[in-house]
Amino acid sequence: MTIYNPLNEGYMFCCFGKDLYFKLATRLVNSIRKFDKTRHICILTDDIKKLSEHLTDTTNCNLIHFHLDPFIHPNININNEWHKYGFYPKIFQSFYSPFEHTMSFDCDVVFHKDFTFLWDIYYKSNMDFIIPGLSDENNKSPSNWHWNAIDQIINNIGINIPQTLSSLMIYNKKLSGMIRKNIGAIFNNIEKWGCKSFFNNGYPDEIVYSIICGAENIKPNEELFKLWCTLDVVDSCNKDIE
């Protein structure tokens, strides 16, 4: 696929906190570049200087500082390291993307084979936002998800919610609008609705994306979920740095 505008399509991920994640960011840039040397990469971070020192290849890389203050909500405690360095950046990353169409990953992803066919899956979907996940014909998550609490959450909110996996997301500019539309109600009610803060003693970002998918009638992509849970093309959660 020919890229006529470097800001039309690109990759984005977050790199915050510990040195481990800056090393992982370098590994992910190198992994992407094995299979795509053309599209630009945008990295959202809390320390541009440190990230610059770690990266071995900054060609077509855009480093952007994430500003936490505009997004802080009293129900999402910023004294929790995961909330500060993981949850908030993952939820609001799309607000910073310079691309018309963005493919985002967690920074602990490693690609074993060419992954660029994911762009074709995105365009063929004709959707503004695709995310791996599972749901039935009514867009309802399997009952065992979110520590077996998802059925109660669905009952409390009054809409069906799918299971999602946010290690991969592909979206256009409309995603940030969906987040703006729904995030106030989600943050205001996240504990009341029964969402569990069991991930690193905080809320997983997936439950937020799941509620947005439910509210916006977006069904997650099961094909991508199966792909992302195998080691054939990608190792989607690998923090082992040699």
Domain of 157: which CATH number?
Answer: 3.90.550.10
Q: What is the pLDDT of residue 242?
A: 63
Q: What is the pLDDT of residue 1?
A: 43
Residue 177 inside a domain? The answer is yes
Q: What is the pLDDT of residue 6?
A: 62
Task: Give the integer Cα–Cα distance in Å for 41 and 19.
Answer: 20
Total count of residues recorded for the chain: 242
Residue 241 inside a domain? The answer is no
Q: What is the pLDDT of residue 237?
A: 87
Instruction: Quote the domain boundaries for residue 31.
Output: 10-235
* Helices H / strands E in the chain, number of each: 10, 10
Residue 48 makes CB contacts below 8 A (sequence gap 6+) with 63, 64, 65
Residue 4 inside a domain? The answer is no
Four-residue CA torsion sign, 150, 151, 152, 155: positive
For β-strands 101-105 and 133-134, DSSP reports them as unpaired
Q: What is the pLDDT of residue 59?
A: 87
Q: What is the pLDDT of residue 187?
A: 98
Q: What is the pLDDT of residue 4?
A: 47
In the chain, which residues have pLDDT < 70? 1-6, 242
Q: What is the pLDDT of residue 192?
A: 98
Q: How many domains does the structure of the chain reveal? A: 1
